[in-house]
Chains A and B, each alone.
Chain A
């Protein structure tokens, strides 16, 4: 079945870049997503990428997709304390509407 894996924790200093990594196993993934979850809140969609793309940039966010290695990353430039949250990688394959999520990466931004 599908599996999505992420590292559990990342700590960076304010102003630095953050890179959160994700690997997935389903070769039929069509879309891959990054969601942000702040304490006590639901998931907020940050960005998504179609599987035939290798990069997508949206303001401070850059998504890189290596389809051959099934590796997805989210780079946050000029990380701010407000970026502290849990970041979830998710994928959807052609056969399903539901998303398969990783366990989330907790980003801690030190002032």
Chain B
């Protein structure tokens, strides 16, 4: 597609449920990032995928968070046993691996945990 696509755009769930968020990067972009934006805050890095290399998971806040990237394209971020503090906008970005590393962002998934 023309840009980074994320789904769903909004997700409301109950505390304790698992959720899956999807990101479809720009075609040909080998790098993919997940960030979290809490209300009134900047973006917090979660995880980074580059090609077939092992992902950089250093930003994941707990072991309830995990992500996969299948076939070097689509990525799924999974949050298990959601908590109210997980409520945020989850943003995905993709880029070419050039030195400028221009990251292009999707519109995000707004997650609300009740």
Q: Which residues of A contact B (CB under 8 A)?
A: 4, 30-31, 35, 40-45, 48, 50, 88, 90, 92, 96-104
Question: Which A residues are CB-close (under 8 A) to B28?
Answer: none
Q: Which residues of B contact A (CB under 8 A)?
A: 4, 31, 33, 35, 40-45, 48, 50, 56, 59, 91, 93, 99-108
Contact B43–A101 (Cβ < 8 Å): yes
| Dominant SS among interface residues on chain A | strand
Minimum CB–CB distance from B42 to chain A (whole Å) comes to 4
Question: Which B residues are CB-close (under 8 A) to A88?
Answer: 42-43
Instruction: Name the contact of B33 in the complex, choosing from A35, A45, A98, A103 (C-beta under 8 A).
Output: A98
Minimum CB–CB distance from B97 to chain A (whole Å) comes to 8
Question: Which A residues are CB-close (under 8 A) to B41?
Answer: 103
Instruction: Name the contact of B42 in the complex, choosing from A44, A50, A98, A104 (C-beta under 8 A).
Output: A104
CB contact under 8 A between A45 and B104, given known A98-B33, A98-B48, A98-B59: yes
Contact A42–B4 (Cβ < 8 Å): yes
